Amino acid sequence: MSSAATCGGLANEPRVQMPYRIGLVSEACGGGIGKHVLDIAEGMATAGHDLLLVYSENRVDHGFKERLDRRAEFGYTAVPIAMRRSPGIRDIRAIEELRRAVRQFGQLDILHGHSSKGGALARLAHWGLARAVVYTPNAWYTMNPELTPFARVVFGGVERALATMTECIIVTSAEERAHACDLGIDPKKMVEIANGVELWDWTDVMNTRCRVRRQYGIADDAVVVGFLGRFVRQKAPDKAVRVIAQLLSLHDDITPIMAGNGDEAERTRAMAKELGVENRIIWLAEVRGRDIIPAFDIFLMTSLYEGFPYALIEALNCGCAAVTTSVGGASACVRNGVNGFVVDGDETSLLVAALERTLEILRNRAQVRHVSRSIAEEFSRERMVKRTLDLYDAVAGETARVRP
């Protein structure tokens, strides 16, 4: 089916009642990508569709495994295979294992790859297995500002080539779409579907806030500045520590939290020690967003690049203000001067200045909470799943109608 005729506009006809057979492929099994993939898997299975999740056996974090262990509640099939994050000769084996898993499951209507590696494997493996292929980059790798010009050209060329094998590409933010156009990818291939989260009851948010603050000895009226994310280069946790150190030199009554884990964890703590703030920061490793973000007043995001970060939506969901670098999704979530600031630049001084201005905004905390919660309501998980299913209708609805 031609994507140019269907991908740009979602299906308007009544949904086909026959269940789709959907395959999801993801190498990244943790963080926002892992959450996104499982939200789609659980949502589609709950809606009555037959779903196969093929995931990497190498990069499963605790939260992903915990949800995966509950898959019987939703009724989808999950198959682990050997996938490596970096490209190489082992990808041939991964393609063979992916094809074997799909053949055992049965012919698919949709094969949907997530992130660079999952998307590449899905498109290289789909021949004869699926009627349509969909790809969600979850932040184009070429958005990384630290890539060399040569690497940007190479990876951009790979994305353009793979796009020709794709019925539709789901971008999660306007920034992702603009970047894809800069890469030379046909805009008719793209549909923007923002990430979404479960909207939490306000009473639950406040109860969690009180419980967490009691647990860590944080006063009810203290201002908590929190970072939550994987401690990897993309998220720049070292920058967050530098920002926190400068903020503490100006406001010694701030309580900072650094929540997350990853390859940069040891280096990040060493930097905090060097700056003399290690013991003034509350450090948390394996923690879910909903279990800690309600304790925050200001959410600090220092990422180098993003597609549309889940943690930012979750922070709004909890009524937090936000100070963030100018990454994908930030402009949709933060109204400058109202519920935080989007900083155009990554200098530490700019982020510190934005945090100081946000402290002023928090004098009217009720307004900040109202604005952030109102914005979060635009990004519900139910809406994300529904729009994804609408897209499946657009690219595979006709073939599903005639499926034997």
Contact predicate 85/117, CB 8 Å: yes
Strand partners of residue 380: 197
**Chain segment 34-74, per-residue pLDDT in tens:** 999 999 999 999 999 999 999 998 888 888 999 999 999 99
- How is the chain split into domains, by residue range? 3-196+380-401, 202-376
Cβ atoms of 195 and 384 closer than 8 Å: yes
pTM for this model (two decimals): 0.90
Does pLDDT of 8 surpass 80?
no
CB 90 within 8 A of CB 56: no
Q: For the segment 353-384, what is each residue's pLDDT rounded down to a tens digit?
A: 999 999 999 999 999 999 999 999 999 999 99
Specify the residue for token string 């402290």.
359
CB 309 within 8 A of CB 303: yes
Query: pLDDT tens digits, residue range 386-403?
Result: 999 999 999 987 555 444
Res 401: pLDDT: 46
Does residue 248 surpass a pLDDT of 70?
yes
Q: Does domain 202-376 have CATH number 3.40.50.2000?
A: yes
The tokens describing 309, both together, are: 């970060």
* 335 three-class SS: coil
Q: What is the CATH number of domain 3-196+380-401?
A: 3.40.50.2000
- Asked if residue 13 has pLDDT above 60, the reply is no
Average pLDDT over all residues of the chain: 92
| Fold match, 3-196+380-401 / 202-376 | yes
Q: How far apart (Å, rounded) are the C-alpha atoms in residues 158 and 117?
A: 11
Return phi, psi of residue 72, to 5°: -60, -25
Give the DSSP H/E element, type plus range, for residue 255.
Answer: strand 254-259
